[in-house]
């Protein structure tokens, strides 16, 4: 799994990078918010850890830009030395997924990451029960429908994972583009519609609803 770490304290950045790499993560370390934002616009990571007080752009400014300007829903945990509720409130208002106050124990960070991975189906190799007769196996790109195994394409797998992580929420085509594809391989709207059509044929037409002029809703 790949994680972006935004932390300008070199000692803490090295400590966290070493710990995460020891846990098997690939760490992309950035020391200022502008570099972190530019990387996340063009690249995909499984989740990110943001300090708030960083040069050029604060972690909160990066968070806000990702959520509002780029519709980027990369799971993000804020790590901060601020002890007030103002920054906590601002973080959640701008779409953070979790918040840890410094100093924190590395075991706490591990537990928060494990929770995040479970919620967003990151590195999920377990069976995901979509309904009574359909199970989803993300790692193998398979659906089990009744007793029959159906293979799906990688992008169909990624779209379905994203739908599962954001169930019952309307998702625009732009949001899918920003969160499933990288900048270099952006597809056309027609390509997205083909993937959605293929998933509907397997899951049932009513599972993925088209919200006219807005996007899709997975139920």
- Partnered with residue 217 across adjacent β-strands are 170, 209
| Helix, strand, or coil (residue 187) | coil
Other CB atoms within 10 Å distance of the CB of residue 15: 13
pTM of the model: 0.83
pLDDT digits (tens, 9 = 90+) for 181-200: 887 788 888 899 999 999 99
Domains, the chain, in order of start with CATH, read 2-119 (3.40.50.2300), 128-218 (1.10.10.10)
- Partnered with residue 150 across adjacent β-strands are 143
pLDDT digits (tens, 9 = 90+) for 131-153: 889 999 988 899 999 989 999 99
Buried b / exposed e over 46-83, threshold 16 CB at 10 Å, is bbbbbbbebeebbbbbbbbbbbeebbbbbbbbbbbebe
C-alpha torsion angle, residues 76, 81, 83, 87 (rounded to 10): -40
Other CB atoms within 10 Å distance of the CB of residue 202: 14
pLDDT digits (tens, 9 = 90+) for 3-58: 999 999 999 999 999 999 999 999 999 999 999 999 999 999 999 999 999 999 99
**DSSP-assigned letter for residue 67:** I
Name which of 72, 77, 43 is nearest 166 in CA terms. 72
No. of helices (H) and no. of strands (E), the chain? 8, 12
| Token output for 174 | 């732009």
What does R_g of the chain's alpha carbons equal in angstroms?
Answer: 18
Average pLDDT, the chain: 93
- Find where tokens 């293929």 sit: 198
């Amino acid at each position: 799994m790949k994680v972006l770490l935004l932390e300008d304290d070199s000692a803490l950045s090295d400590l966290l990078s070493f710990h995460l790499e020891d846990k098997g993560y690939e760490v992309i370390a950035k020391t200022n918010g502008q570099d972190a934002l530019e990387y996340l616009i063009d690249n995909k990571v499984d989740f990110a850890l943001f300090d708030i007080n960083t040069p050029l752009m604060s972690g909160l400014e990066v968070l806000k830009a990702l959520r509002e300007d780029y519709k980027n829903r990369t799971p993000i945990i804020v790590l901060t030395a601020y002890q007030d509720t103002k920054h906590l409130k601002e973080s959640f208002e701008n779409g953070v997924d979790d918040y840890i106050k410094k100093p924190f124990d590395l075991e706490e960070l591990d537990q928060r990451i494990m929770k995040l991975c479970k919620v967003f189906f990151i590195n999920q190799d377990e069976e995901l029960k979509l309904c009574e007769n359909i199970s989803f196996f993300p790692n193998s790109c398979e659906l089990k429908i009744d007793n029959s195994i159906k293979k799906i394409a990688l992008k169909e797998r990624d779209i379905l994972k994203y739908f599962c992580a954001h169930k019952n929420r309307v998702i625009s085509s732009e949001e899918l583009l920003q969160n499933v594809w990288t900048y270099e391989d952006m597809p056309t709207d027609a390509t997205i519609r083909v993937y959605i059509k293929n998933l509907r044929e397997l899951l049932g037409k009513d599972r993925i609803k088209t919200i006219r002029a807005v996007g899709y809703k997975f139920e």
